[in-house]
Amino acid sequence: MRTRTKAAVGIGAAVVVVGGVAVIFGPGWYADRAEDAAADEPSLSASAAPADGADSSGTWTVSDGSFAGYRVDEVLRGEDVTVTGRTEDVTGEVTIADAEVTEASIEVEVATIATDSGNRDGYFRENAIQAEQFPTATFELTEPAALEEGATEVQLVGDLTVRGETKSVTVDAEVGGDGASALQVVGSVPITFADFGVEAPNLGFVSVEDTGSIEFSLDLAKG
């Protein structure tokens, strides 16, 4: 999924400014603030029904309302904090034929992935993901995925490329919608940062876990 998610392999390490605030107000305050800022995990809209494989046949294009990004855990002086980064700069296409997802190509502009901290985002873009050299993250489906009747769950097997490194991944996803004019695909895939040449930073007062996840929600329009 041209998941520029995609890509977004989430390594948002806090910076000295954030650490200074934590020292003044205490790590618990920072943890609460960051947890409040973390976005909910992507989910199908309440009105989304299981996609009908027959009615959904055709090519679908990523449209407005889509997003991709990352979820990662930080540890600040013993306090666990969840951080999420998001961007709506996602493009791509998904093809469905004979009740199967037969093709999917998604691209994400990683330089526009943002959290609640500009300092963290700067570190992510310049140091962790090197967005100037590797501006996009992508996902390309490599195996057909069956859309089971009456179910939303589907596993999407494909190649995830982040920071110039390509790995085969299995994405746990859900597909729903009316099947005629609109579909939604949501999901996530766990990643180990080192697999993509990314070193999880440890700045002493704050460290980032070695693993995280890429998340996405795609609103698809037919044609």
| Cβ atoms of residues 155 and 23 within 8 Å | no
The pTM of this model reads 0.80
Contact between residue 171 and residue 187 where contact means Cβ atoms under 8 Å apart: yes
What is the CATH classification number for the domain harbouring 21?
2.40.128.110
Instruction: Report the domain count for the chain.
Output: 1
pLDDT (mean) for 127-132: 90
Average pLDDT (44-52) is 76
Nearest of 159, 163, 168, 141 to residue 9 by alpha carbon:
163
Q: What pLDDT does 79 receive?
A: 78
In this predicted model, what pLDDT tens digit does every residue of 96-128 receive, in sequence order?
A: 998 899 999 999 999 999 988 888 888 889 988
User: Which residues have a Cβ under 8 Å from the Cβ of 216 and sit 6 or more positions away?
Assistant: 1, 3, 5, 6, 42, 66, 67, 68, 69, 90, 106, 108, 185, 186, 187, 188
Residue 56 domain boundaries: 4-222
